[in-house]
Chains A and B, each alone.
Chain A
Amino acid sequence: MAAAMAEPVPELPRLWQEAAALAGAVRGALGPRGGRALLLRPTGEAVPTRDGRRLLEALRLEPPAARVMAARACSHRAATGDGAKSFVVLLAAVLGGLRAAGGGAGLRRALRAFEAQVLERAAARGLRRHWRTAPPGLPEARLEALLEPYLAGRLGPGERRRLARLCAELCRRCAPTAAARPEALRLLARRFAALHAAVPGLPLASSTILPGIVLRRDFAAYCPAEGELRALLVTEPLQPALTAPGVEFVVDSEGQYEASLRWITRRTEALVKHLQSNSVKLLLSSTKQDELVIYYAQLYGVSVVECLLSEEMALISEITGVSPYAPFGDDMYREITETAVASFCQPLLLGSKRCVHIGFTSVCAFQPHCLILCGPVDGVNEQHAAALQEAFTMLQQLFKTVDQRGECKAEGESQNKASDVCSWDSSPTQKQIVVENISCNSNQVSECQLKALSDETETKILAPDKSSSLVDKQKSYSTAVLACNADTVTACELLDVGKGLEKTCCNIVPFKQEESCVGIAQDHSSSLIEAGSVLPVGGYFEILLHYYIQYYAKQCQQSEVAVVSNVVADALLSIPKALYRTTELDSFTKFYLKAVNSLRKNQPLPGNKEGLESVYCKYQLVVSVLHCVTELLSIDLIIGIKQPVQKIEDHDSEDDF
């Protein structure tokens, strides 16, 4: 056993092979030039997809290590809404690099040190110079710039622009004010199933956005009503039943039976009449109602929609703040107070299907709108809907930050605790985090202020005529922060002084001298990656990180950390390589050389594309991959003990540890 444990190295090539096979399976669907896969379910359904999670699931992997890889890729995607395919490609490249470097437990330990000593520095000090910050309200142009590249990785080339427009339009209409956007994105991501309807057989160009919500079933009873109307939610049948499952109704005489039936009829009529007298014009029921209820509803001018799905009921409750009505209380005739208000309620023909279209008046900031997705086949609509839903998840990630964990002194054992602080939610817990940051970093703050002063003088030397405009810019930056979140202002004001300057400094003269680079490198702020940081799309993140990892690896004394740094830095390039795969042969090399040359000369990057991507998501990807590699290399030991592979399923691997 001990001998087996001491030989984990032969497993690395196998891990790498499995990862490479997985990467080979998803690489074809990666990036804007990737193709689609057609998944055939056992039921005969054909679903086109480019979603990494679905692809990995469809492969039904057998080897346990590959299953772990796929599971980690999927959980990363579930958290950030993006990146399952890149995850696998990067993972394969890192494993390949480690294998080439000889593997060994030393490298595995060095992975952790690398993360703390090199990766975080590269992100905080290197990458920082290049990213831009999206304003909290997400203006529509910025929204499209983020959505289009995201959808480019998920949809066919002919569909992405139209859908990005639709998606941005939907965000704008659901949240007309910038303050309502986070709430709207949250609702859209969570309730998208009830906020869209698909029509197969029509071209994509027929897709549209309708105000209100669309229920995909016909009216059970429809009574046209003008103007605003009150709607009631119910979850049980309104007609009292004679018997129920397990209940026996004993008939003594014909008279008794007739009287019971008459009572049921009268009671139902009275109930519907009661609705009418409370001016309820629309009944929304999650269960099927008896024909008698429908009949009386028609007579008393109440429209009825039955069999609402639970998610539709939940959505309606959420946007109107109304809970379902229980008719069988002690007093049937009490006033009905909990009604939703709808500005209209009408039939809608979607394709050849009759639907119900209701314009609810929202009690929250979210203005309900429904996306009508058209496509030639159901599978395409399904693909579009899934991509859009995850796009909303991705947009939510944009405003998360990665906190820097103290100083880089903590080696080895320090786990990456990238606590997600969403700067939008001004919840008490978040306040606390901010306060803590201030208190514990008070030394840093003063240090930072000092640094700011020195930086300011430095920039004055660099560009003396522009110093006033610099200060202006810095001010406007602070006020922007002020406007976005009053709770964090104190912290931001204190911490962002140096940062603001640094940014402006970079904008004008991107670190011309080595000094300035070092000067900034000592700058500390509360977060590693700020909320709303974005970079141009198309491999820039990877090349920048590659460059800065190499830069900071040179300062590192440990040789094994340096080896790992080189492995990760080279592995990062596998993503842009895969992106440029289908174009001309040497296009990646050209792109790489151009980017690295301008980095060396401190020139702005040759970014001409309008698309943007979230730095948070990308950084998380790298961190997750490194964790996965660490995990795989650790698990490797356990697998090494078991001789036959089949036994793994029989024993609980934890027991042997």
Chain B
Amino acid sequence: MSRLEAKKPPLFISEPLTKDTVCQSLLLLSRIFKSSYGPAGRLKQLHNGVGGCVCTTSQSSALLRHLSVSSPVLRVLTASVQNHVSRCSDCGLFTAILCCSLIENFRSLNVAPCTVIKITKNLLSLCTDYLKSEACGCRVSVDFSSVETLVCLVRSVLTSKPACMLNKTEVEHLTTLVLKAFLFTVPCHVETNAVLGKCVIIPVKGRRVMDSTVLPGLLIETPEIQLGKPLAVKRTGSSMIKIALFCASMSGDSFSPEEGTIAVRHGTSLEMSELNQLLNVGKQLVHDGVGLVVCQKVIHPALKQYLKENHVMAVDRAGLSLMEPLSRMTGSKPVASIHSLSPGCYGSLKDVSIERVASKHFVHLIPGDTVICSLILCNRSETAWDELKRVCETAEHVLQLTMKEPLALLGGGCTETHLASYIRYKSSSLSTSTFQDLGCSQTQYQLVADGFCRSLESVARSLNHDGGEILTDMVYGHCWFVPSGLPSVSNWSDVVSKCGCGINGNTEDLSWRILEGQSCSPVIQGCPKEPSVKVTDFLTLDCFAAKCSGLQVALETANLVLDLSYVIEDQN
């Protein structure tokens, strides 16, 4: 029968983008993103007002995880940016700012959303085709035989997040470490299907960043091991250490069934039976010449003692997350039962040592040939460490993405302004058949293209937080920052030294113009050029895959939001 409680009728909102509350939320969201962007971005302090820890950040992933957006339309936007970040790690703020300003720019145009979407789709394909073509003037190819471009990529990621509180030497130190850790994860002997290894980050809070280091192999925290005692580990003939990996519990209490019941006669002890079986396993391990036993769960003290007496090192509570890298590193198969041990399940290690980092003790498992490494990451405060960890993970992901597609885009706003001037040039020279195909007039196309370019440029303008001027040149279409507080000058070449990405110097007259927010920028005569000199060090570079994907996701999301003609909210 039908329920007695009255169901609320759904809330029907038509044309949600015209509503004031949505507009204000969008504006606020856009301001938060813009003010956080780039190396000089302002930090946001997130706290819940009733205590608990405070998060200081300027990262889109951290911001969006904590922000609760009430407007359903904008929730689509934030969900989309979060999804982008979980795929690509980098360029989250870029995507968010671009998406917001695309919506703002297109909403105010007096063109039907359907037409706007068709035109922007065309503009996007112009952009992606250009970015993927050899003629693209804002990308550089990454040479994996030298580290220079890789260093630039990692450094750009590390410096873009000021909440990590790093100074120049610390940035250099961490750049080296991240790169080293990445190189550890690349397999030396590549078969048909190469799979990258894993870098495990070990947190050490309250220490100097310069104490951070990278070690090959894995570290397992062991509070009970005493330092100073020499490690006596049995080795096999080839001086390797045989290792057994257990995922089953070895605590002797694994007899409780999941379903049903076990009735035990008086005088029978299952505990004793389990312990006997454990000791049998111990005997076999000793007999098989195993030198190290690692258990995911707990090892019974009696078994531990037995193993110790027989010079077998036992490490327990390794945790589920370490099992897969452990298994991969040593080649051992995690044993799931204490009732059977096959000789095929053992793996091998080159060495074992004890490491002490800050106040913690670790067993360091050193493999012969590895794709697994550990990054001991130190930072002074908890919140700065959290930020640094995310940044290091992003940098590692960026390197992985770059390996798949060995290209990088010029950073520092140069890609955005370059693309904008390319689109301005291209859209002024389209044939009439293009407009017919799209079902729009040339004026409409120009209006939308201009909105698109202004949105791109607004991303570049968001890099500036100190009130100076931002210029673009008419030759390369790059982005130039003028320091604030300078007296007004007639000649821009007196005040600018290098473009945003650092590839172009102030050597020739590049006819700079101020990058305006509202009015139309003049169209340059011809396609923006590729920089003539190829400087390779101290460039600001962005991940190609992440930025391309971000550009497309931002546009698709903006289109989705613009296309919404109503919202039906179920209020039950």
Contact = CB atoms under 8 A, between A and B. Distances in A.
Q: Do A and B bind each other?
A: yes
Contact of A291 (B80, B83, B128, B336): B336
Interface in A539-598: 582
A251 B264 contact: yes
Contact of B568 (A38, A251, A257): A38
Contact of A28 (B264, B566, B571): B566
A258 interface: yes
B269 interface: yes
A295 B570 contact: no
B340 interface: yes
Interface in B127-162: 128
A41 B567 CA distance: 11
B54 interface: no
A60 B11 CA distance: 10
B556 A58 contact: no
B259 A158 contact: no
A200 B560 CA distance: 14
A46 interface: yes
A42 interface: yes
B344 A299 contact: yes
B564 A200 contact: no
A635 interface: no
Interface stretch (A8-16, A239-247, A303-311, A599-607): A239-247
Instruction: Tell me if A's interface is mostly helix, strand, loop or mixed.
Output: mixed
A157 to B, nearest CB: 4
Nearest to A34: B565
A139 interface: no
Nearest to A224: B193
Contacts of A36: 560, 563-565
Contact of A157 (B263, B273, B563, B567): B563
A377 interface: yes
Given A157-B114, A203-B552, A203-B553, A59 B10 contact: yes
A130 to B, nearest CB: 25
A466 interface: no
Contacts of A261: 277, 339
B560 A380 contact: yes
Contacts of B563: 35-36, 48, 156-157
B305 to A, nearest CB: 22
Contact of A254 (B118, B128, B269): B269
Contacts of B14: 28
Nearest to A203: B552
Nearest to B568: A58
Nearest to A48: B560
A243 B262 contact: yes
Interface stretch (B55-63, B68-76, B470-478): B68-76
A295 B261 CA distance: 26
Given A41-B570, A291-B247, A376-B83, A158 B120 contact: yes
A376 B344 CA distance: 46
Given A37-B568, A62-B9, A379-B76, A246 B559 contact: no
Nearest to A262: B339
A29 interface: yes
A628 B552 CA distance: 45
B263 A291 contact: no
A249 interface: yes
Query: Which size class do B's interface residues fall under?
Result: 35 or more
B193 to A, nearest CB: 7
A295 B556 CA distance: 45
Interface in A372-422: 375-380
Contacts, number: 214
B359 interface: no
A655 to B, nearest CB: 17
Given A37-B567, A60-B7, A203-B549, A247 B260 contact: yes
B565 A35 contact: yes
B207 to A, nearest CB: 30
A265 interface: yes
Nearest to A55: B568
A204 B344 CA distance: 46
B336 A156 contact: no
A254 B568 contact: no
A652 interface: no
Interface string A611-649: 000000000000000000000000000000000000001
Interface string B219-257: 000000000000000000000000000011000000101
Contacts of A204: 552, 556
Interface in A112-161: 156-158
Contacts of B549: 202-203, 206
B381 interface: no
Contacts of A257: 255, 268, 270, 273
A42 B570 contact: yes
A248 B568 contact: no
Nearest to B345: A299
Interface residues of A, number: 73
Contacts of A205: 128, 552
A2 interface: no
Interface in B518-572: 549, 552-553, 556-557, 559-560, 563-572
Interface string B78-95: 011011111110000000
B342 interface: yes
B570 A292 contact: no
A201 B87 contact: yes
B334 A295 contact: yes
Contacts of B276: 254, 258
A299 B263 contact: no
Which among B114, B268, B333 has the greatest number of chain A C-beta atoms within 10 A?
B114
A527 interface: no
A376 B560 contact: yes
A225 to B, nearest CB: 12
Given A254-B276, A376-B84, A299 B260 contact: no
A265 B337 contact: yes
Nearest to A253: B268
Contact of B84 (A156, A201, A249): A201
A252 B268 contact: yes
Given A295-B336, A649-B2, A40 B567 contact: yes
Contacts of B334: 295
Nearest to B263: A250
Nearest to B118: A157
Nearest to B339: A265
Given A58-B570, A294-B336, A254 B263 contact: no
A35 B113 contact: yes
A604 B228 CA distance: 97
A244 B261 CA distance: 8
A39 B335 contact: no
A25 interface: yes
Contacts of A59: 10, 12, 568
B262 A295 contact: no
Contact of B556 (A203, A298, A351): A203
Contacts of B216: none
B263 A251 contact: yes
A352 B337 contact: no
A251 B336 contact: no
A455 interface: no
B107 interface: no
Contacts of A224: 193
B324 to A, nearest CB: 10
A33 interface: yes
B19 interface: no
24 contacts: A38-B566, A46-B79, A48-B76, A59-B12, A157-B121, A158-B120, A201-B82, A201-B83, A201-B86, A201-B553, A205-B128, A243-B260, A244-B259, A247-B260, A248-B263, A249-B257, A258-B276, A265-B337, A265-B340, A266-B340, A295-B335, A299-B342, A352-B87, A378-B79
In the A-B complex, the 6 residue pairs with the closest CB atoms: A243-B260, A35-B565, A201-B83, A203-B552, A291-B336, A295-B336
Given A39-B568, A40-B567, A244-B259, 5 more contacts: A35-B566, A38-B568, A157-B121, A243-B260, A257-B255
